[in-house]
Amino acid sequence: MLDDPEQLPMIQEHEGNCRSLRLRGYCIRATIGNHPHVARVWKPDQDEEFMVKLVKRDSTEVVLLRYLNSPELRSDPRNHTIPVVEIIDASADLCILVMPKFEPYPLLVDRRNLDALHDYVRQIVEGVAFLHEHNISHLDLKPTNIVVDVSTQKVYIIDFGLARRLQYEDAQISGYAGTEGWTAPEVGEHRYSPIRADCWAAGKLIQDTFKLCGPLGPERKHLNKIAIRLLDQDPGQRPALKDLLNVPRTDEHDDALYPKESMLFTHSLRLTIPLPQLTTVMVA
């Protein structure tokens, strides 16, 4: 059963939550907008800020984040799941996810830097394709659920509150899940593939990102064609994201940002900072 944020207590108004964070050395600075179960915290001994989220201990989100942050999957460079620094058990049925504080993707989209935009898009596609490879559908892809580590320029996907672990890639589900304006047309109408619904949302992310750019140059035209394919009304006509990572470029222009013999999304050779292994702490 998915978490209902309205059923969760405000993280600051529950003494058990505050005590659990204090015992681990965290000080709550502020809750986040309309999400009283999410807060920005500071750890004085590290002089570093983190984000924390109050969730049910048996929630799908916790199960998936534990799995996606396992040492084997965390070491895969294609894994763009938000790192979880630690999970603090706050009560019998609640726990607190501690995550690095990264910058919101929408604030970093710079129309003047097409190289960076292209790389962000590649990483988003790569990250969602990685989830799909493990039969996980996010079901709430949108700009506010994408963040960036500015020190490495690595993109991460956050908020797995609606995500589903499927028995197989082509499994179908029913019911509405997602955010209005960011859900595929078939969602909530009848049984649908959540994997294909994610592909539609990825296409919209690509299209909206490059709407910020100027005139349709060769690179933007190329990516816009990809976005249009992902936004196809027929889910069966949307390409799998993993296939986009291995499609040879079809444009032959000489001023391409990347060599025309390269793949659509060239693999990043950027080194990333090692991340701490996930730990679970029980506060008595």
CATH code, domain with 48: 3.30.200.20
| Any domain includes 21 | yes
Cα 283 from Cα 275, distance rounded (Å): 23
Q: Is 140 inside any structural domain?
A: yes
- Written as six digits, the tokens of 19 are 């005590």
If one counts the domains in the chain, the total is 2
Place of tokens 């990809």: 226
Tokens of 74: 């965390």
Query: Which of 59, 60, 77, 57 is closest to 16 using CA atoms?
Result: 57
254 domain-assigned: no
Strands 279-282 and 86-89, how do they pair?
parallel
Residue 86 and residue 133 in one domain: no
Helix axes 218-230, 114-133, angle to 10 degrees: 30
Query: For residues 224 and 215, what is the distance between their CA atoms, to the nearest angstrom?
Result: 12
Do both 91 and 108 map to the same domain?
no
What's the CA gap between 139 and 175, in Å, rounded? 11
Give yes or no: residues 46 and 72 share one domain: yes
- Rounded to an integer, what distance in angstroms lies between the CA atom of residue 262 and that of residue 267? 10
Q: pLDDT (tens digit, 9 = 90+) per residue, 213-262?
A: 666 566 677 788 899 999 999 999 999 999 988 755 444 434 333 434 33
Cα pseudo-dihedral 19, 20, 26, 30, rounded to 10: -70
Whether residue 166 sits in one domain with residue 85: no
Q: Which structure tokens are listed for 211?
A: 């709407």
pTM metric for this prediction:
0.83
Task: Select the more confidently predicted residue: 190 or 281.
Answer: 190
Tell which wins on pLDDT, 258 or 185.
185
Partners of 280 in beta bridges: 87
For residues 199 and 215, state if they share a domain: yes
* Domain containing residue 109: CATH number: 1.10.510.10
Q: Are 166 and 45 found together in one domain?
A: no
Contacts of 45 (CB under 8 A, 6+ apart): 25
Residue range(s) defining the domain that contains residue 11 = 5-101+273-282
| DSSP codes joined into one string, 200-265 | HHHHHHHHHHHHTSSS--HHHHHHHHHHHHHT-SSGGGSPPHHHHTTPBP----TT-SS-TTSBSS
**Average pLDDT taken over every residue of the chain:** 82
**Shared domain check, 199 and 87:** no
Check whether residue 93 and residue 110 sit in a common domain: no
Same domain, 94 and 142: no
Q: Are 187 and 203 part of one and the same domain?
A: yes
Residue 60 has what pLDDT?
A: 95
